[in-house]
Structures are given as C-alpha cells and as structure tokens.
C-alpha cells in the first residue's frame, strides 16, 4: 500500500527534476533564435505549457466535481478542490509570464485585443471566486456540493468566454491575426513538448503532494477526536 | 413542475408589490448610475456611442447583482426555504420560479431605465431599437439564470453580501461582452448584429442546461 502512494509522488517528482531543467537547456542552447521575435520567443516554451497545464488542472477539478455530485464521496471533493487550487497556481504564473511576453513582442503589458489573454483573465477571476465561496461556507455536505456545482459551471464558462471574445472581436478587429503563422521547426516543437511534459509532471506532483497533506490532516483530526473519546 | 415554478414566481411578485423592497432600489440604482456616467463623460464628446453601450451593460449587470442580494433573503430569514424544500415539488422548480421572478424584476426596471439612457445619450440616431430590446431580453434570461444559481450557492455563506458579486460578475462577463457587441453593432455602420444575439441565446441555453443538471444538489439539505 505505501509503495503505490509513494509512486504517485516520486515518479512525477523525478520527471519534473529532469524535464523542467531540460526544457530550459533545450530552449536556450538547442533551439535557434526565432527570426521574428528573437530571444523573447524563448518564453513560449514555458508560458504556453503553463497555460495548457492550468486548463488541464481546472478540467481535472471540474471532472472531480462532477464525480463528487455523482458518487458523493469526500475523496472526490478533495480532488476537485486540489485540482482548482493547482490550476490557480499555474494560472498566476500564466498571468505573470503572459504580460512579460506581450511587453517584449508587442510593446504593451496587456493586449485587450488578444483572445487567449482575456479569456484567461475571466477564468482566473472566476476560479479565484471558487475559494471565496468554499471558505465562507461551513464545512460539510452543503459546502461540498456548492463548491462542486461552482467548479462545474466553469465547463460552461470556458467555451462561452472564448465565443464572447470572438464575437466581440469581429467588431473590434475585423482581421483575425494568428499568433503562429508559419509552421514550427522540429526543434521548437520538441522543446515545447518537453516543456509541456515537464509542466504536467509538476502539476501531478503538486496535486498528489497536496492531496497527501490534506488526507493526512484529516486523518490526524479523526485520530485526535477518537483519542478524546468523541465519535470518530 | 412548471406550475410550481410559476406559483413561486407569482408569490415573489405579490410580495414585491406589497413590500416594494427590491424593484425601487434597483430602479433608482440603475437610473443613478446612468446619470452619474453621463455627467462624468459630459465633457468628452469623443467617448460617444461605444461608451454609451458599455455603460448601459455594466449598469444593468451591477443592478442585477443588487437585486440578487435580496433573492432567497426573505425565504432564508423566515425559514420559508425549509418549508419549500420539504414541499412535494421538484427542487428545480424552486430555482426556476426564483429565476423567473428575477427576470421579471430586471425587465420591469429596464422598461423605465433604458428610455432614460436613450434620452440622455442620444438626441437623434441611436442604435436600432429592436436589436437592443432583443439583446436586453436575452441577457435578462442569462442574468436571471446564472444569478439565481449563484445566489442559491451563496445561501448560508457567512459573507453572502460580499461573496455574491464576486461569484456572479466573472460568470456574467460573457453576457456583458455579447451585449455590448450587439448594442454597438446596432448603430448601423457596423455589421454582425445577429451574431452577438445568437451568442446570448446560446449562453442562456448552456447555463439553463448546467443549472438544470445540478439543481437537485443546489439548495442543499
């Protein structure tokens, strides 16, 4: 039993230790400089994987929320919370790296015409509200269902935000500009994939460490209660 | 189920007509916001139509939040919510009835406030009336659905009054975007007036489906 639990942390830990530094090395020493953007393009290998990882973490949170509403076990509630939590952590990184890249390549910190950026901001605000909701309700069945429903609503909000920004853009910017016009060279793609794998293993690591911490805390609380003679 | 929802909505309307708690506060808030923005922008002739469209939608959403703060409040204070939950009706109908009432309140207020907006911002040649009316009606449906859902989620939270705007506003951001686009498109010189309306209708459908699917777990035990 302990070996299986350890596997969920040691494997992603080992992968992150290898893959994240490898991404840095590949980005700076192996891939050539982008003709168009030069050095600032290197942030692509971090920013885009972090953003995708953040979406995946939110999706995991929403999936676990649906599972909670179906199965009604605390484990799924905890998974949903931890998924949203790590999504928010990666989301914060996206909101730091995004403006950095925007400043370097467009000359502005925030481009209100960019679709990805604005959708991400809506989503980030939304999932920040998740924590406010969760922690202003008393622990129990009601808090778990309310959190789960709210996390699930995000599934509707993500496509709706994309569509809304797209509909609005037909009026603001008649010409839709694509960020990556030319096909990526092989070395760029490979570095991106390594970066993606690194961020994903980092996410799995964060989720499994936090889950273990929460589970241990719950178990300690339960033991304390039964030691005091209260009902376990 | 629809019958129960209609009954709940009717009770809310009757109570509102007797107590006048929500509608007048919302109406005054919306009118005051419109006037404040008009005064604030008065020197700026360049702001023009886009500012007018944007401020209408921002004001509508904030007014809706003001009204939502009182949703379920009477039920919660009087313990009526427990009775409603015990009643042999579908949980979805409680939520649907409340959303219907919310839609009615919003529409009633807009009937008075939007002409004020019109008069203050456009002396001649405003956006096409039909498009703006349809956009507002579609948005009211979405605001009522999402707002009632969030109000039910925040029910029993310690900081309900602060929490509710934080929950609702990100969810309503697509509505504001769609609404502004529709209104701005209705000025005639731009195209694509129907696409934002279609988007608003789609938003209503998506959140109706999501709310319906989760309504059984919504009001808790």
| DSSP-derived 3-state class of residue B112 | helix
Testing the interface with A: which of B72, B85, B160, B170 to mutate, by most A Cβ within 10 A? B170
CA angle A69, A216, B153 (to 5 degrees): 30
Asked if the model's pLDDT at residue B104 lies above 70, the reply is: yes
Is B143 exposed, middle or buried, given 0-12, 13-18 or 19+ CB atoms closer than 10 A? buried
The lowest-confidence range among A31-40, A154-163, A165-174, B38-47 is: A165-174
User: How many cross-chain Cβ pairs, A to B, lie less than 8 Å apart?
Assistant: 107
Asked if the model's pLDDT at residue B5 lies above 80, the reply is: yes
Domain of residue B13: give its range. Answer: 2-218
Closest Cα of chain B to A160: distance in Å? 7
Would you state the pLDDT for residue B139? 93
pLDDT classification of A1: cutoffs 50, 70, 90: very low
Question: Cβ contacts of residue A81 below 8 Å, gap of 6+?
Answer: A61, A134, A147
Would you state the pLDDT for residue B147? 92
A53 contacts A90 by C-beta, under 8 angstroms: yes
Residue in this structure with the two tokens 């009633």, named with its chain if needed: B108
Would you state the pLDDT for residue A173? 42
Question: Cβ contacts of residue A145 below 8 Å, gap of 6+?
Answer: A68, A69, B217, B218, B220
Kindly report the backbone phi and psi dihedral angles of residue B21, in degrees, each rounded to the nearest multiple of 5, phi listed first. Answer: -90, -45
**Number of H-type helices and E-type strands within chain A:** 6, 0
**Yes or no, beta carbons of A164 and B174 under 8 Å apart:** yes
At A31-50, the pLDDT tens digits run: 767 666 667 777 888 888 89
Residue in this structure with the two tokens 């309307």, named with its chain if needed: B13
Kindly report the backbone phi and psi dihedral angles of residue A34, in degrees, each rounded to the nearest multiple of 5, phi listed first. Answer: -65, 135
pLDDT classification of A176: cutoffs 50, 70, 90: very low
* For residues B178-201, average pLDDT: 77
Asked if the model's pLDDT at residue A117 lies above 50, the reply is: yes
B49 contacts B184 by C-beta, under 8 angstroms: yes
CA–CA gap between residue A83 and residue A75 (Å, rounded) = 12
The residue in chain A having the minimum alpha-carbon distance to the alpha carbon of residue B159 is A136
Please choose, from the candidates A145, A147, A148, A149, the residue with its C-alpha nearest in 3D space to the C-alpha of residue A132: A147
The residue in chain B having the minimum alpha-carbon distance to the alpha carbon of residue A135 is B157
Question: Looking at the domain that runs over A8-173+184-227, which CATH code has it been given?
Answer: 1.20.120
Asked if the model's pLDDT at residue B189 lies above 70, the reply is: no
Distance between first and last Cα of chain B: 20
Asked if the model's pLDDT at residue B96 lies above 50, the reply is: yes
* For residues B73-88, average pLDDT: 74
* For residues B106-134, average pLDDT: 83
| Mean pLDDT score of chain A | 81
- Total number of domains in chain B: 1
**Yes or no, beta carbons of A170 and B195 under 8 Å apart:** yes
List alpha helices for chain B, DSSP H: 2-19, 23-40, 48-68, 73-78, 80-86, 91-121, 129-154, 160-185, 194-218
At A178-211, the pLDDT tens digits run: 444 445 667 777 888 888 888 888 888 888 888 8
Kindly report the backbone phi and psi dihedral angles of residue A165, in degrees, each rounded to the nearest multiple of 5, phi listed first. Answer: -65, -35
* For residues A68-95, average pLDDT: 90
Compute the radius of gyration of chain A from its Cα atoms.
21
Confidence check on the interface: ipTM exceeds 0.85, yes or no: no
Closest Cα of chain B to A15: distance in Å? 36
Q: Please give the residue that has the higher pLDDT: either B193 or A95.
A: A95
Within 8 A of B199 by CB-CB distance, chain A residues are: 163-164, 167
* For residues B185-200, average pLDDT: 73
Question: Cβ contacts of residue B26 below 8 Å, gap of 6+?
Answer: B63, B64, B66, B67, B105, B106, B109
B181 contacts A171 by C-beta, under 8 angstroms: yes
At B14-72, the pLDDT tens digits run: 877 787 777 888 888 888 888 888 888 776 655 567 778 888 889 999 999 988 888 77
Would you state the pLDDT for residue A171? 54
| Farthest CA pair distance, chain A | 70
Within 8 A of B169 by CB-CB distance, chain A residues are: 125
Q: Out of A129, A155, A167, whose CB is closest to B196?
A: A167
Asked if the model's pLDDT at residue B140 lies above 90, the reply is: yes
């Amino acid at each position: 039993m302990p070996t299986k639990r350890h596997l969920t942390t040691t494997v992603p830990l080992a992968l992150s230790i290898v893959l994240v530094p490898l991404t840095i090395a590949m980005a700076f020493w192996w891939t050539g400089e982008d003709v168009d953007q030069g050095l600032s393009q290197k942030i692509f290998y971090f920013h885009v994987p972090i953003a995708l990882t953040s979406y995946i973490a939110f999706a995991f949170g929403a999936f676990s929320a649906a599972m909670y509403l179906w199965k009604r076990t605390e484990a799924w509630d905890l998974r949903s919370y931890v998924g949203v939590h790590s999504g928010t952590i990666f989301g914060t990184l996206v909101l730091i790296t995004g403006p950095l890249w925007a400043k370097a390549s467009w000359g502005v910190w925030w481009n209100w015409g960019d679709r990805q950026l604005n959708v991400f901001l809506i989503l980030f605000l939304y999932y920040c509200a998740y924590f406010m909701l969760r922690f202003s309700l008393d622990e129990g069945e009601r808090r778990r269902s309310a959190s789960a429903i709210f996390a699930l609503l995000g599934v509707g909000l993500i496509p709706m935000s994309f569509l809304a920004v797209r509909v609005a853009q037909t009026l603001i910017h008649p010409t839709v500009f694509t960020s990556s016009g030319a096909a990526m060279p092989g070395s760029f793609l490979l570095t991106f994939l390594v970066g993606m794998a690194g961020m994903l293993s980092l996410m799995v690591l964060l989720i499994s460490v936090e889950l273990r911490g929460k589970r241990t805390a719950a178990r300690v609380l339960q033991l304390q209660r039964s030691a005091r003679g209260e009902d376990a | 189920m629809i019958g129960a929802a209609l009954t709940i909505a009717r009770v809310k309307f009757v109570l509102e007509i007797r107590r006048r708690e929500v509608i007048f506060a919302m109406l005054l808030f919306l009118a005051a916001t419109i006037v404040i923005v008009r005064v604030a922008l008065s020197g700026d002739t360049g702001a023009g139509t886009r500012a007018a469209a944007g401020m209408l939608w921002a004001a509508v959403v904030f007014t809706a939040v003001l009204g939502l703060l009182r949703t379920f409040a009477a039920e919660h204070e009087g313990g009526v919510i427990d009775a409603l939950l015990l009643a042999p009706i579908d949980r979805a109908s409680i939520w649907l009835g409340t959303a219907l009432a919310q839609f009615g309140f919003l529409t009633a207020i807009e009937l008075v406030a939007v002409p004020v907006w019109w008069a203050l911002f456009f002396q001649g040649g405003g956006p096409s009336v039909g498009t703006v009316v349809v956009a507002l009606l579609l948005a009211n449906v979405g605001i009522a659905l999402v707002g009632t859902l969030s109000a039910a989620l925040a029910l029993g939270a310690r900081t309900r009054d602060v929490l509710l705007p934080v929950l609702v506003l990100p969810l309503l951001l697509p509505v504001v975007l769609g609404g502004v686009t529709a209104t701005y498109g209705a000025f005639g010189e731009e195209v694509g007036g129907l696409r934002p309306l279609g988007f608003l209708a789609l938003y209503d459908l998506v959140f109706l489906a999501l709310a319906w699917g989760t309504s059984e777990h919504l009001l808790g035990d």
